[in-house]
């Protein structure tokens, strides 16, 4: 495909890496979902929350794939890094990890944005701003709120109550 508006190679490589990062986030959220579904934890709404997060990450990876395809670049895939939660991971630690994942992903999106600005690629900067900036800021806001609620409720019965009442419908 000959594009009249080719994507800068460095930016294309950064988007390729982003695809893998989004799928790794999917993989990690899936692991957290299974973890909380286990009978030793039995926090089923938390498990559902992480399953829904996983589904969102797969959608994100697809949006980046589609973007490369639209710009005439063949997406390239690399091996994925697995995440397996420690068996003693607490609810608070799980949400702290989720917040860290989101912050890392957002930092990486902003790096692609820097690349796009340097390459004077207005379409890529707009794509990132319109589709991802709001989503990422919203995810951080949500996770920070949940962390406040989890800390306030405390462990034991507090975790049970957070699971029952603490999560908004996604």
Contacting Fe ion (CB under 5 A), which of 60, 112, 124, 128? 60
| Piece of 39-47, 60-68, 69-77, 151-159 that binds Fe ion (CB under 5 A) | 60-68
Fill in the per-residue mask, 90 to 129: x = in contact with Fe ion (CB under 5 A), - = not in contact. Answer: ----------------------------------------
In the complex with Fe ion, the residue whose CB is nearer, 138 or 151, is 138
Cβ of residue 23: shortest distance to Fe ion, in angstroms?
10
Q: Tell me the chain's radius of gyration from C-alpha atoms.
A: 18
Tokens 């800390």 locate to: 151
Cβ of residue 19: shortest distance to Fe ion, in angstroms?
10
> Cα-flanking dihedrals φ and ψ of residue 78, to 5°?
-125, 170
Distance CA 71, CA 162 (A): 44
Fill in the per-residue mask, 11 to 50: x = in contact with Fe ion (CB under 5 A), - = not in contact. Answer: -----------x----------------------------
Cβ of residue 125: shortest distance to Fe ion, in angstroms?
18
Residue 99 and residue 159 in contact, taking contact as beta carbons nearer than 8 Å: no
Per DSSP, the residues of 99-140 read HHHHHHHHHHHHHHHHHHHHTT-HHHHHHIIIIIIHHHHHHH
In the complex with Fe ion, the residue whose CB is nearer, 17 or 72, is 17
Closest CA relative to residue 149, chosen from 112, 102, 95: 95
Q: Which helix (H) or strand (E) holds 31?
A: helix 9-37
In the complex with Fe ion, the residue whose CB is nearer, 22 or 65, is 22
Positions touching Fe ion (CB under 5 A) are: 22, 57, 60
């Amino acid at each position: 495909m000959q594009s009249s508006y080719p994507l800068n190679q460095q930016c294309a490589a950064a988007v390729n890496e982003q695809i893998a990062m989004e799928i790794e986030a999917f993989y990690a959220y899936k692991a957290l979902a299974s973890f909380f579904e286990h009978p030793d934890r039995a926090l089923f709404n938390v498990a559902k929350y992480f399953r829904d997060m996983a589904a969102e990450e797969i959608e994100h990876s697809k949006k980046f794939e589609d973007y490369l395809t639209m710009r005439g670049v063949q997406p390239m895939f690399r091996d994925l890094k697995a995440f397996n939660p420690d068996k003693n991971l607490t609810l608070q630690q799980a949400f702290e990890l989720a917040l860290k994942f989101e912050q890392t992903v957002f930092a990486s999106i902003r790096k692609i944005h820097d690349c796009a600005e340097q390459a004077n690629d207005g379409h890529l900067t707009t794509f990132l701003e319109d589709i991802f900036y709001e989503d990422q800021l919203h995810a951080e806001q949500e996770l920070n709120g949940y962390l406040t609620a989890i800390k306030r409720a405390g462990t034991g019965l507090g975790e049970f109550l957070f699971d029952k009442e603490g999560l908004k419908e996604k």
